[in-house]
Amino acid sequence: MQLTVWTYEGPPHVGAMRIATAMKGLHFVLHAPQGDTYADLLFTMIERRSARPPVTYTTFQARDLGGDTAELFKNAAREAYERFQPEAMIVGASCTAELIQDDPAGLARALKLPVPVIALDLPSYQKKENWGAAETFYQLVRTFAPKVEGAPARAPGPRPRCNILGATALGFRHRDDVVEVKRLLARLGVDVNVTAPLEATPSDLARLADADFNVVLYPEIADVAARWLERTHGQKTVRTVPIGQNATKDFIAEIAAITGIDATSVLQDADARMPWWSRSVDSNYLTGKRVFIFGDATHAVAAARVASEELGFEVVGLGTYSREFARDVRAAAEKLGLTALITEDYLEVEQAISELQPELVLGTQMERHIAKRLGIGCAVISAPAHVQDYPARFSPQMGFEGANVLFDTWVHPLVMGLEEHLLAMFREDFEFNDAAGPSHLAAHQAAPAQPAAPAANDITWSKEAEAELTKIPFFVRGKARRNAERFAAEQGLAIIQIETLYDAKSHYAR
Amino acid sequence: MTPTATNAGCDSNALPVLRERGQREVFCGLTGIVWLHRKIQDAFFLVVGSRTCAHLIQSAAGVMVFAEPRFATAIMEEKDLAGLVDANEELDRVVDRLLERRPDIKLLFLVGSCPSEVIKLDLSRAAQRLSAKHTPRTRVLNYSGSGIETTFTQGEDACLAALVPEAPSADGDALPGLLIVGALPDVVEDQFARLFAELGIGPVAFFPPRRSGEIPAIGPNTRMLIAQPFLGDTVRALEARGAQRLPALFPFGAEGTTHWLKAAADAWNVPEMDFRRVVAPHRERAKRALARSKETLDGKSIFFFPDSQLEPPLARFLAEELGMRPIEIGTPYLNRDLLSEEMKRLPEGAQLSEGQHVDKQLDRCREARPDLVVCGLGLANPLEAEGLTTKWSIELVFSPVHGFDQAGDLAALFARSFARRSVLRV
C-alpha cells in the first residue's frame, strides 16, 4: 500500500479513455462500478470538451456481485453498439472489475458485434494512466495497421510523408502542439499522412503504413506503437521532441537527415523570437535563476534543456513521475550534475522544493500548489494540469512558436530585473519589499513560508546574523542560509555570526 | 447500506416512480470526504482503495491543495491483493506513518472502497485493532464509501452512522434535547442555533460536531430534526439509541424552513403566537430575498438528473415558492421515510425517477427541452453545447443552502444560469 495525498496519474483505464476521447468513431465499454464515471468530468470540465467522452460504464453494484455482472457487461456493450454505431469498440475493466474477473474480452467476443472489438488488459494495481494510454494506442495500431503478408513494399511518393503520433485528449497543450508541428512540417515540404490518436478514426489508423516515417510527439503515449510500426512496416521514427529553440532545430535536422530535404531556410525561422528575447540585455537578470523542474519525462527533460541552455537558468532539481521513462530523466539530470528525483509521492516533491528553495518552479498543478504555499513563482509545464492550463488562445509548447511561449510563461512569474535591484537596495521599504511579491502580478503572495529546515548539526544562528539574513531577498535567502550553515560546518563553527554569513558569501563566490 | 426499496410511507398518494438501471452518471460515496474532512476539524479520512479512488477524490475536489488536506488514500498494489494478512500489515504500517506525520488527528476514519469491499478486507476489525493500538491519542472508525454500495451523499450517511456508537448515552431522566442531524456549513448552524434560542428550544446539538470530542449524548429524550434527506442509515442508528425523529419538510426555502422549525416548536410546546412572532421576520426576509429570482424562474420548466437525493425537496421548493415546473425529478435513491412530508407536496405532473440509465434519461431530457437542467459535471458542458441551460448539481451540496437566510442564495443558484445566458452576446 502506498500512502497518497495527491496523485500525478490516474489509473490505466483513464489512459484508455484519453485515447478513446481523442479519436472519432471509437467507443469504449468499461466494466466498472458506480462512481467511476467521475472520469468524464476530466474531459468535460477540465478540458471543456463539448461532448461526453465515448465511454459506456456498466455500473455494477454490490447486489449484482452475487448475480450476473457478466450479463450486465454484455447488455451494456450491445446497447452501446446499437446506440452509438461506432466503427470499432474497445472493452476493458476498471480496478474493481479486474478483481471480479468477468473477462470482458471473452464476453465481447461472444456478442459477435459486426465491428472490430479490441480487448484491453489494463492492470490497475500495477500500472497507471500513461501506460494505459500507450497500451491502448498500441493495441489499436496493431489491430488496424497489421503487416499484410505478401503485400508489395510501399513505393516512396514524390514528397516525404509522415504520421504524427501521440497527441491525446487531456494532454498538456497537445491540441496546439499538433497545429504547430504540422505547420513546421508543411514548411519543410513533408506531407502528413495520419495524425493519431487525436482526431483519427479507426480507418485512419488503417492507413498508418502509408508513410515514410513517424514523428513521436509524446513518447509516454506513442513510443510503444512507434517501435511496433518501425519493426512491422520499417518506418523510421523521429524521436526528438521539439520543445524549445534548440530541440526544434534538432527536430528539423533529424527530419532533414531522414528525408534528404534541405532545411536551411526553415532553420532560420523569423518566427523564432525567443533567442533574441533571451540574449537582449533586459534578460541579463535571468542568469543563474534557480529553477526546480518536475513533470512527465518528456516535458521535464525538455524544460531542463530550455532552462539551462536557452534561458541561462541554473537547474537545481529535476524529476519525474514517469517511472517508465526514468532513465531519460536520470541521464538529463546527470548532465546537469544532479540526481533525478523519480517519485509519484507528492510529499517527496514538496520536501525537495522546500529544501532547495528555488526561485522558480516548473511543474504540474501539484507543484503549482506547492510553490504557492512556499511563495515561489511557478509555471505549469506538464500534465496533470488544471482548467486554467487549457487556454482558449493558441499556446503550443513545441516548435519555434512554442519556444516563444515558453519564454513568456516562464519569465512572467519572476521578479523583474530592475525591480530585483531595488529590492536588494532598499530592503526595509514597508510597501515594496520581497514579501510583497513581483509587482506586475496581482496583489498576493503571502510572505513565503520559511522552510522548516532546522540548522544542520547543532549550528545556531546569532540574533544579528538571523536579522541580517532577512535583509537578503527571499529568493536567494534559502541559498544564503544553506551556504552559511555548510560553511560553518566545514569551519567547525558552532554559532553563525554576521561575519560568518559574509565569509560564506565570499567563500562560495569563488 | 445498500439501498433497498422500502414500501413505508405514502405510495398511495405519491407520484408514480420510474425505476431505472443502467449507466449511472453519479459520484460514489467517497466524494463526501471532500466536505466532511472540513466539517470535523480533527478527523482524518483514509481511503483504503485503488489509484482510481485517489484520482476520483482529487478530481471531484478540483484539487484544492491550499491547505494540506485531511484525507489521503492508501493505494492497494498487486502484493496487497495476494493475501489479506499482508494487506492488514500494510494498512497498519500506513496508519502508523500517517499518525506520525499528523499527530493532531484525534479521529481517523478508514474508508472502504469498491476494491477493498470486493476483496473483503475487514476494515471494522482493522479499525478495532488500530484503535486499541493508538488509544487514547487517536480513535479509529470505519465506514464504506464504495460505489458498489453508496451513491455520492450516502457516503456522509455511512460516515455519520459509524459515528453514532461514539455518542455517549443520555439517560431517560435527561432533559429533552434537540439534535440537528446532517453536516451543515458552520454559518448555517450558527443561524439555526440563534433561532432555536429565540424560540426557547434547547439544548440544541449538531451531529456531526465540529470536533470529534464534542459528540452529543443520545437517549430516549433526544428529538431529531433531519437536515439532509440522504441520512437514512444514520437516522436508523440514532433511533436505535432511543432518539425520536420529528417528521418535517427539509429546511429549504421559507416554507421548508418554517415547517422544519415548527416541528421542533411543537415538540417543545412553543405557543403558536410565540412561534409566529419569532419566525415571521426571518420568514419575511427569506421571501423578500426570493422575489428577485422568482421573476426569472417563474413558469420555467426544470429537469433533475439524479445526484445527491436533495432533488425531491429542491423540486418542492422550486415549484411551491418560485413557480417552477418540474418535468422529471431524478434521484439516485428515494428515501420514502425521510421524504414522507416532501412526497405529499411534490407537484402533480412531475415524473419521479429513481436510479438511472443515463442514455435513456438524456433522450427524455432532449425530448422535453426543459428550460433548466440540473445535472452533474460530466453532463453539463455537453448539454450546454446542445443548447440547453444547465445548473451543476454539485454546487447544491457544496454551498450553504439551508434555512431562511440562504433561501435567496439557493434560488439564485438556479437563476444564475439564466442570468448568464441573458447577458452574454457571444
Q: What is the pLDDT of residues A183-195, one digit of tens each?
A: 999 999 999 999 9
- Contact map slice: B 197-216 vs A, CB within 8 A: none
Torsion region of A288: left, alpha or beta (phi above 0 gives left; psi -120 to 50 gives alpha): left
Q: What is the pLDDT of residues A151-163, one digit of tens each?
A: 777 888 899 999 9
Sheet with A314-320, side-by-side order of all strands:
A341-342, A314-320, A290-295, A360-363, A377-380
Quick one: pLDDT at residue B87? 87
- The answer to whether residues A300 and A329 touch, using CB atoms and an 8 Å cutoff, is yes
Place of cell 478527523: B43
Q: Binning pLDDT at 50, 70 and 90, where does residue B4 land?
A: very low
Listed in order, strand segments (DSSP E) in B50-104 are 71-75
- Contact map slice: A 97-116 vs B, CB within 8 A: 99-100
In this prediction, residues A332-347 reach a mean pLDDT of 96
Asked if the Cβ–Cβ distance from B75 to A52 is below 8 Å, we say no
Indicate the residue type of A12.
Answer: P
**pLDDT beyond 70 at A435:** no
- The answer to whether residues B112 and B146 touch, using CB atoms and an 8 Å cutoff, is yes
Q: Binning pLDDT at 50, 70 and 90, where does residue B8 land?
A: very low
Sheet with A26-31, side-by-side order of all strands:
A55-57, A26-31, A88-93, A117-119
Quick one: pLDDT at residue B5? 37
User: Across the strands, what pairs with A460?
Assistant: A495
- A421-442: burial string, b at 16+ Cβ within 10 Å, e else: eebeeeeeeeeeebebbbeeee
Percent of chain A with pLDDT over 70: 91
Asked if the Cβ–Cβ distance from B23 to A58 is below 8 Å, we say yes
Asked if the Cβ–Cβ distance from B27 to A38 is below 8 Å, we say yes
Q: Quickly list DSSP for A228-292.
A: HHHHHH--EEE----BSHHHHHHHHHHHHHHH----HHHHT-TT--HHHHHHSGGGGGGTT-EEE
Lowest mean pLDDT among A59-68, A402-411, A422-431, B224-233: A422-431
**pLDDT beyond 80 at A465:** yes
Asked if the Cβ–Cβ distance from B63 to A372 is below 8 Å, we say no
Nearest CB among A37, A39, A51 relative to B385 is that of A51
> A505 or B197: which carries more pLDDT confidence?
B197
Q: What is the pLDDT of residues A258-274, one digit of tens each?
A: 999 999 989 886 678 99
Cα→Cα distances B52→A40, A72, A125, Å: 13, 21, 10
Does B125 contact A at CB distance below 8 Å?
Answer: no
Quick one: pLDDT at residue A157? 85
Indicate the pTM of the whole model.
0.91
Q: Which of A282, A389, A429, A434 is catalytic?
A: A282
Lowest mean pLDDT among A213-227, A354-368, B55-69: B55-69
Separation of first and last alpha carbons in chain B: 47
| Mean pLDDT score across all residues of chain A | 90
**pLDDT beyond 60 at A446:** no
Place of cell 534557480: A290
Does B62 contact A at CB distance below 8 Å?
Answer: yes
In this prediction, residues B302-319 reach a mean pLDDT of 97
User: Across the strands, what pairs with A119?
Assistant: A91
Nearest CB among A39, A63, A124 relative to B50 is that of A124
Q: What is the 3-state secondary structure (H, E, C) of B228-293?
A: CCCCHHHHHHHHHCCCEECCCCCCCHHHHHHHHHHHHHHHCCCCHHHHHHHHHHHHHHHHHHHHHH
Q: What is the pLDDT of residues A249-260, one digit of tens each?
A: 999 999 999 999
Q: Quickly list DSSP for A310-361.
A: IS-PEEEEEEES-GGGHHHHHHHHHHTT---EE-S-HHHHHHHHHHH--SEE
Looking at CA atoms only, how far is residue A70 from chain B in angstroms? 14
User: Across the strands, what pairs with B222?
Assistant: B177
At A204, phi and psi to the nearest 5?
A: -65, -40
Quick one: pLDDT at residue B38? 85
Q: What is the pLDDT of residues A384-429, one digit of tens each?
A: 998 989 999 999 999 999 999 999 999 988 876 666 666 666 666 6
In this prediction, residues A469-481 reach a mean pLDDT of 77
Instruction: Give the side-chain half-sphere CA count within 13 A for B361.
Output: 31
Residue A91, SS3 per DSSP? strand
- The answer to whether residues A12 and A73 touch, using CB atoms and an 8 Å cutoff, is no
Quick one: pLDDT at residue A443? 45
Residue B394, SS3 per DSSP? helix
Instruction: Give the side-chain half-sphere CA count within 13 A for A489.
Output: 11
Cα angle at B216 between B213 and B218, to 5 degrees? 135
The answer, yes or no, to whether the previous bond of A160 is cis (omega within 30 of 0) is: no
| Mean pLDDT score across all residues of chain B | 92
In this prediction, residues A473-486 reach a mean pLDDT of 79
Nearest CB among A35, A50, A369 relative to B65 is that of A369
A64 in active site: no
DSSP assignment letter at B172: T
DSSP assignment letter at A416: P
Lowest mean pLDDT among A257-266, B57-66, B239-248, B412-421: B57-66
Question: Which run of H or of E encompasses B392?
Answer: strand B390-392
> A251 or B3: which carries more pLDDT confidence?
A251
Identity of the highest mean pLDDT range in A331-335, A369-373, B8-12, B174-178: A331-335
Q: Binning pLDDT at 50, 70 and 90, where does residue B3 land?
A: very low
Helix, strand and coil in chain A, % to nearest 5:
50, 15, 35
Report the distance separating Cα B217 and Cα B239, nearest Å.
Answer: 13
Report the distance separating Cα A348 and Cα B52, nearest Å.
Answer: 21
**pLDDT beyond 60 at A442:** no
Q: Binning pLDDT at 50, 70 and 90, where does residue A282 land?
A: confident
Quick one: pLDDT at residue A40? 95
Q: Binning pLDDT at 50, 70 and 90, where does residue A445 land?
A: very low
At A191, phi and psi to the nearest 5?
A: -85, 145
Report the distance separating Cα B327 and Cα B411, nearest Å.
Answer: 18
Does A365 contact B at CB distance below 8 Å?
Answer: yes
Lowest mean pLDDT among B3-12, B52-61, B211-220, B300-309: B3-12
The answer, yes or no, to whether the previous bond of A54 is cis (omega within 30 of 0) is: no
Cα→Cα distances B78→A15, A100, A104, A125, B292, Å: 19, 15, 20, 5, 57
Mutual angle of helices B311-322 and B272-297, in 10-degree steps: 90
**pLDDT beyond 50 at B12:** no
In this prediction, residues A235-243 reach a mean pLDDT of 97
**pLDDT beyond 50 at A69:** yes
> How many CB atoms neighbour CB A118 within 10 A?
20
Chain A environment of B27 (Cβ under 8 Å): 35, 38
Q: Binning pLDDT at 50, 70 and 90, where does residue A447 land?
A: very low
Cell, residue B204 = 440544541
In this prediction, residues B115-134 reach a mean pLDDT of 95
Q: Binning pLDDT at 50, 70 and 90, where does residue A432 land?
A: low
Nearest CB among A38, A56, A370 relative to B56 is that of A38
Report the distance separating Cα A453 and Cα A351, nearest Å.
Answer: 10
**pLDDT beyond 60 at A452:** no
In this prediction, residues A461-468 reach a mean pLDDT of 89
